[in-house]
Every structure is written in C-alpha cells, then in structure tokens.
Amino acid sequence: MDQLPPFSLDQPWAQATLGVLGLLLVAWVAQWLARQVLARGLARLAAHTQPGVVAVLLNPGVLSRAAQIVPTLVIQLGIGLVEHLPPTLVTVVQNVAAALTVLCIARTLIEVLSVTQTVHQQRALAEGTERSRSIKSYIQLGQLVVGAAAVVVMIAALADKSPLIVLSGFGAMSAVLMLVFQDTIKSFAAGLQIEGNDMLRVGDWIEMPQAGADGDVIDIALNTVKVQNWDKTIVTIPTWKLMSESFKNWRGMSESGGRRIKRTLMIDAGSIRFLDDEEIDRLSEVELIADYVREKASAVKVSRSMKASELGEALARVPANQRRLTNLGTFRAYTNAYLQANSSIHKDMTLMVRMMQPTAEGVPMELYCFTTTTRWVEYEAIQGDLFDHLLAILPEFGLRVFQAPGGADMRGLTAQLAAQQAGMAPPDRRSAQEG
C-alpha cells in the first residue's frame, strides 16, 4: 500500500492553499476595517449635517453597502499574487470578483438613490410642504438604468469580453425589449410631462371616474400612481393613463382658500305672489332686509303716484298697472344679505343668488358662493347650516319648497276626500221616514 507524501510547505499546492486562505483573511480584515471606518466613523457625522448630498453619502445604509466593495477589490487585485495557481483559475476568480465588485457598486448607487428620495421627503416635511413634487419616478428610472448597466457589465466581466460586445447582442433584441418595457417607456414619458407641467403632486385630491379614483394621491411612481379614495380604498392608476385620459385636480380649490357652494332651492310656483302692505310692514322689521324693503316700498309709492298722475286714480288702482313687491324677490334679497353677513362665506369670491329657468318641479333659486374653508367636514357643516336656515325661514315670506307627494300625503288626501263625501252624502231613506 502506497503511503501519502509527507505534508510540506514547500509543496506548490500547500503554498497555493495558504495563499488563498491568507487572501481571504486579508479580504475579511479589510471589510471589517471598512465597516468600522465608514459605517461607524463617518456615519456619526451624518447626524450633524443638513439634508443634502453630504447627508445622503454619509447615510449608514450607503456606507454599509460601500464597505462591501472593499473585499471584492482585495480578491480581484490579490488573486494574481498567489503563487502556484493555474492561470485559468486566476482568470475565473478575477472575473467573478470583478462581477461582484460591479454588483456591490450598483447596490450602493441604488441605495444612494433610495436615500435621496427619503431625504427629499424629510425636507418637504421639515419645510411644512403638504404637497410636494414627487421624484420617485426619477429615482425608480435611475435604479432601473443602474441595474441594467450593472447586468451588462457583469455579463461582460464573467465572459471576459468588452461591454460593447454584450450591448451589440442586446441591440438585436431591441424590438423584444421595446415590447416588454413599452408601459415603462410610456409611463416615463408621461411622468416627464406631468412633472414638467406640474399637473400632479403627492397630496392632491383628484377625480378620475373612469379609473374609479376620487381621493388623495399618496404615491407617484415610475409605472403607477396610487390614489386613496375617501372610503379608504386604494386605486392604482398607470402613469401613462393620466396623460391619455382626463382627470380633475382639486389643488386649485385648495390653494384658493375657498370651496364652492352651488345648490338650488326648488320653490313651489303656486306659492309665489305679491306682498300686501301688512306683509311689507312686517318684513321691514327684519334687520337684514330692512333697508331693502323700505327702499323698495318707497319706490313703489313713487311709482304709484306717477301712475295716478298719468292714468288717473281709477286705472292706477288696477293691480296690473301697479308696481308691487313679490315674496320671491324679497326672499332672494334676504338670501343675498344673509350670505353677505355670514362670516363663513368668502366675500372676495363670486357671491350671487340667481333665478333659474322654471321647471315642472318648481322655480329653482340657485345659491352660488364660496366658503372660507376648504376642509370637507367644515364645508358640509357650513352648507348644511345655510340651507337649514333658508328652508326654515321660507314660510315667513309665504313661500313653499316644491316636494313630490309621498305616501302619507296621498293617504291624507284620500281621507280628506272621504270625509267630504261622507258629509255631503244624502240622508238614508229609513232615517228620513222615521223623521
């Protein structure tokens, strides 16, 4: 039986093994030192720097990934110094180490982009900016470009070829790549137009019925835009769809400081009439329209005296020849004065009360004004209080709101007709004979 040759450091394989182990030990020590200097030493400076480029580069996550580049460089440069290794093995190790170096550099750059987005968001919050322009689409595009470039260089390193040769191979697949990434390309082009024209920001309230979106924008990415609806559901919209289809952005309303009220009161046409002198005297005591009623009453008296002098007393008393106040016109003046006196209504924006074309449901009187707040809950409370008051005070002007008859109305009318018919029925023949 043959005996194994005695172990000796003079043997080539032993020297090669010790050289590889020593190289690995040096790579580990280099990585440990890099982590101590970068991840711990330089990271402490990040807490004392303002948000910016320096803060991004000194981020612990960036420094930790940058420290991973050191051991791959040590192996890539030191493997050639190990003696008695086959040239083919040295080439393979150098190529693999070069590919790992490229991978670590790419991961560091991707982390730099991610930290840049985080710093941008923190700066926007620190400045109190509720709606800031999103850079997430640019960050994701940069990460995609870095990843694609890293893949090309890694393949070239492993194959020991020039990256241009690898790119020429990808050129033949350009049609396939265009088909695969067509949505990404369209979304990026749409993102450039959205950002350039300032059409959308994080925090904007948008409406896009065709996509089922009605709420706040919570995220703008390269391929998608996320909208949280008021019912707390989240709708994901492709970015390119925002350019190919229309949507409504309520940012202008929010920045203006006022939200529009545009609602109508349907006045029953049968309740519209002229006011008599007693009603005019009563309404002249209403503070909001006291001056209006007195002025109109005075104008009516002047008009009547002029008509009497022109037509004579007899013709001047004909109602059609007289100028008279209507309850609807007086109520419209009251509503306008009430809006003017309401502190929750914006006085620097459009404010009017107008009559619309009469319909089968009555005569619409529209209120068009803006509140002094854009908050939804407060806006609804102001609008509710406004119409509660107007509906309650309508009878003071002798007006009614049009309302389609309901079941209770029909039952009441039926009972009233039945009672009338019972009272008008002829007496029973038997009771008449007994009488």
Give the pLDDT of the chain (435 residues) as one tens digit per residue.
445 455 555 666 666 777 778 878 888 888 888 877 766 666 666 555 665 666 677 777 787 888 888 888 888 888 877 777 788 887 888 888 888 888 989 988 888 888 888 877 777 666 655 556 667 777 877 888 888 888 888 888 888 777 777 666 666 666 676 777 777 878 878 887 887 778 888 888 999 999 999 999 998 888 889 999 999 999 999 988 888 888 999 888 888 889 999 999 999 999 999 988 899 889 989 999 999 998 888 887 887 777 667 766 666 666 666 677 899 999 999 999 999 999 999 999 999 999 999 999 999 999 999 999 988 899 999 999 999 999 999 999 999 999 888 778 788 888 888 888 877 655 554 444 444
Contacts from 76-83 at CB under 8 Å and sequence distance 24+?
A: 76/101, 78/23, 78/26, 78/27, 79/23, 81/19, 81/23, 82/16, 82/19, 82/20, 82/23, 83/12, 83/15, 83/16, 83/19
- SS3 of residue 353 by DSSP: strand
Q: What is the pLDDT of residue 351?
A: 95
* Distances from the Cα of 373 to the Cα of 110, 180, 345, 368, angstroms: 43, 47, 9, 15
Q: What is the pLDDT of residue 382?
A: 95
Q: Beta strand 205-208 with 213-220: parallel, antiparallel or unpaired?
A: antiparallel
Q: What is the pLDDT of residue 221?
A: 84
- 345: which 2 tokens? 């209504």
- List domains and CATH numbers for the chain: 12-131+140-172 (no CATH), 257-273+326-405 (3.30.70.100), 276-324 (no CATH)
- 12: which 2 tokens? 């080539």
Q: What is the pLDDT of residue 127?
A: 63
Q: What is the pLDDT of residue 431?
A: 47
Q: What is the pLDDT of residue 268?
A: 93
Least Cα distance to 239 among 317, 311, 134, 339 occurs for 134
* Distances from the Cα of 384 to the Cα of 261, 334, 342, angstroms: 11, 18, 13
Q: Is 357 exposed, middle or buried (0-12, 13-18, 19+ CB in 10 A)?
A: exposed
Q: What is the pLDDT of residue 207?
A: 93
Please, what's the b/e burial string for 323-355 (b: 16 or more CB within 10 A of its CB; e: otherwise)?
ebbebbbbbbbbbbbbbeebebbbeebebebee
